[in-house]
Amino acid sequence: MSMLGTKWKLHGTGRTIRPGHVVAPHERLTWPLTIGVGMQHVVAMFGATFLVPILTGMPPATTLFFSGVGTLLFLVITQGRVPSYLGSSFAFIAPIMASQQQFGVPGALGGVVLAGVVLALIGAIVQKFGAGWINRLMPPIVTGAIVALIGLNLAPAAKQNFDAAPVTAVITLATVILVSVLFRGILGRLSILVGVVVGYLVAMMRGEVHYDKMDAAAWIGLPQFQTPEFHVGVLGLFVPVVLVLVAENIGHVKSVAAMTGQNLDGVSGRALLADGAATVLAGLGGGSGTTTYAENIGVMAATKVYSTAAYWVAGIFAILLSFSPKFGELIATVPPGVLGGAATMLYGMIGVLGVKIWVQNKVNFANPVNLTTAAVALIIGIADYSWTVGDLKFTGIALGSAAALVIYHGMKAIAKARGSVAEPESEQAGLPPAVKAAVNAAAKRAPKKR
């Protein structure tokens, strides 16, 4: 492959995938098929990427533009070794909305830039020294708590939009739920997008959609670019997001490595650096912060096509689509009721993803360190505790994230010094809970050897 990763080898005949094989990142199918797969990636990222600017009041076309540019930048920095699409990160929703109330859109964009800079620096450190220190700093109990509290912190915003048009919101939410179980493959994965479309049609019939701005917009034109402003007060809102982005990015790289059978540890730092650079670029121009997209990993798993050529197609197509102001204004017409229904599912999913991290890593909540870390962090995040120090205001996400880190490492250090916690941090595998309890009880009753 070239330094840009743009020299692809044809996979077999380029028309079919041999049984038991996958189209590797450095391979491609014929260009008509590659273009088709690339456009499918655009569809897969579409719903989630557009939900973020709609919910935060950012220009949808601008966000789409920077998602396409960010994807191409990611492919260049990773030298075409990591197939991934960079779409809008849900982790940025809460800090963007909170910072807009204090500092407006420019202040929120400044926060996005700062988060991107921190992420890029972490990527450079990981590329130099490896990712082991991240796993020690943020074990599964901490990562899961931070991801969960970011999603659950948004619950009041979902309720506010839901209450604006309850009928539309209920139909939107019901559609999302039904589509996710009625259909398999890509359609089932796009349940939120389908729910938004159905809810939008219902809102049209109920007279809740207004097209004044769309009618006035041109068919072809530049996206709406904005410049950031930098305020110290946004640091507490955006820095915790970086922890989520790191965990998310590394998890996606590991997923792609497992599915392609390639060792991508050597490029994990580049992936973080690229994600950070793309986020900085988006913040400088008026877009939302980016992240690698699980939706597109799902498309690769379904198609067995991991070619980075398809992502070049997706990135370029997204950029071209962003040069239609009318299209951007059409997306912006999505009414509150539809957003409320979709957000009820979406924000809840973010919260449950944190729980999923705990389950997958068999976090043991009989261990008081784990239990306390999760309990305190979640309540602080959900209730949105706040603390103001001069010009700095720390809200639920920042305080909850800090609490998770401080409580975990503080309690662990004290317990180690005192020898007071006997329970393991992860559950024993292979035995039912009742059997484990019996084994532990028997061990405690057994006479000690002299």
What is the chain's pLDDT, residue by residue, as a tens digit (450 residues)?
466 777 888 888 888 877 777 888 888 888 988 888 888 788 767 767 877 888 888 888 899 999 999 999 999 999 888 898 998 887 888 888 888 888 899 999 999 999 999 999 999 998 888 777 777 888 889 888 887 887 788 788 788 889 989 999 999 999 989 988 888 765 666 677 788 889 999 999 998 888 887 888 788 888 889 999 988 878 878 887 887 788 778 777 777 777 777 777 788 889 999 999 999 999 999 988 888 876 677 677 767 888 899 999 999 999 998 998 888 788 778 888 888 888 888 778 778 878 888 888 889 998 899 999 999 999 998 998 888 776 666 778 778 888 998 999 999 999 888 877 667 777 765 555 555 565 455 545 555 444
What pLDDT, on a 0 to 100 scale, did the predictor assign at position 422? 64
The residues with which 290 forms a beta bridge, in sequence order, are: 88
Nearest alpha carbon to residue 283 among 234, 230, 227: 227
| The residue count for the chain | 450
Q: Are the C-beta atoms of residues 397 and 150 closer than 8 Å to each other? A: yes
Whose tokens are 């409320």? That residue is: 340
CA distance 88 to 46: 10
- What's phi and psi for 326, nearest 5 deg? -65, -40
Which of 16, 195, 140, 21 is closest to 424 using CA atoms?
A: 140
Three-class DSSP category at 264:
coil
Q: Look at residue 367 and give its three-state secondary structure.
A: coil
Whether the Cβ atoms of residue 282 and residue 322 lie closer than 8 Å to each other: no
What pLDDT, on the 0 to 100 scale, is given for residue 429?
A: 53
- Long-range Cβ contacts of 323-326 (<8 Å, 24+ apart): 323/61, 323/65, 323/220, 323/221, 323/222, 323/223, 324/61, 324/219, 324/220, 324/221, 325/61, 325/217, 325/218, 325/219, 325/220, 325/221, 325/222, 325/223, 325/224, 326/214, 326/217, 326/218, 326/219
Note the pLDDT of residue 433.
Answer: 57
**Rounded to an integer, what distance in angstroms lies between the CA atom of residue 75 and that of residue 274?**
8
Predicted local confidence at residue 449, as pLDDT: 44
From residue 442, give the alpha-carbon distance in Å to each of 27, 427, 445: 57, 18, 5
* 239: Cβ contacts below 8 Å, ≥ 6 apart: 114, 115, 118, 398
Q: Which residues pair with 305 in a beta bridge?
A: 23
The beta-carbon contacts of 423-428 under 8 Å, at least 24 apart in sequence, are: 423/364, 423/366, 423/367, 423/368, 424/364, 424/367, 425/139, 425/141, 425/363, 425/364, 425/367, 425/369, 425/370, 426/140, 426/361, 426/362, 426/363, 426/364, 427/362, 427/363, 427/364
Instruction: Determine the pLDDT at residue 391.
Output: 62
pTM, whole model, 2 decimals? Answer: 0.73
